A and B are shown apart, each in its own frame.
Chain A
């Protein structure tokens, strides 16, 4: 099984973990992406939303689980076919939530390109934007190295 390990700077990443955990907690009872399926039958809608929420939070638990005691000692996180998909999805959920809560002042062009002088932002937007970029980097690494594993899984 293909496995990708990344050594991260604890000094750089540790402050972002609090941002990630706070965003994750805010998603415990709500979906990250807007639900626009208004014409679904009420019974199905409730089940639909419950299952999406469960799926979302299961994935977020996998992502947060990467940053465990072992990570705090070594700074290393690893991806393989077993966690690549939930980490990708959880990263998307947290990025959507960070945008909604902290980054609405940024233009869509800036959000898409990430081209912004981070120090020009005030807290808490500055740290949220750094976390937003960090999660995008994780996604890009996974897609670059584990695309085939995800598609076969």
Chain B
């Protein structure tokens, strides 16, 4: 499953970051939102290129879910909130819970 990686952690927080679990922003399928709408949201919120956005949209559509971002909890919550503002169904998962 392809995931969009955020940039490397800043040096000052690298130790703490290494000890913290990675959080995953997972978008779940819904039968209501248009495919073109989901692609636009991924481009707008996550900065995906068209092909990457379409790949994740199709993954959501065909497999029911797609991990669209992974990293620190704070950033994961930021992206989850932004995606929820567009009325996508989003969950957060951590490595610990997997």
Contact = CB atoms under 8 A, between A and B. Distances in A.
B56 to A, nearest CB: 16
Contact of A33 (B34, B37, B43, B89): B89
Interface in B78-98: 80-81, 84-92
A99 B32 contact: yes
A143 B36 CA distance: 7
A143 B28 CA distance: 22
Contact of A37 (B86, B88, B91): B91
B85 A111 contact: no
Interface stretch (A6-14, A85-93, A119-127): A85-93
Interface residues of A, number: 32
B32 A96 contact: yes
B37 A92 contact: yes
A32 to B, nearest CB: 5
A36 B91 contact: yes
A52 B85 contact: yes
B80 A37 contact: yes
Given A56-B87, A150-B44, 15 more contacts: A33-B87, A33-B89, A34-B89, A36-B89, A37-B84, A37-B91, A55-B85, A56-B85, A92-B37, A96-B32, A96-B33, A111-B31, A136-B34, A147-B40, A151-B43
30 contacts: A32-B87, A33-B30, A33-B88, A34-B89, A36-B28, A36-B89, A36-B90, A36-B91, A37-B84, A37-B90, A37-B92, A52-B81, A52-B84, A52-B85, A55-B85, A88-B86, A92-B32, A92-B86, A92-B87, A95-B33, A96-B30, A96-B32, A96-B87, A99-B32, A108-B31, A112-B31, A139-B34, A139-B36, A143-B34, A147-B40
Interface of B: 28, 30-34, 36-37, 40, 43-44, 77, 80-81, 84-92
Interface of A: 31-37, 39-40, 44, 48, 51-52, 55-56, 88-89, 92-93, 95-96, 99, 108, 111-112, 136, 139-140, 143, 147, 150-151
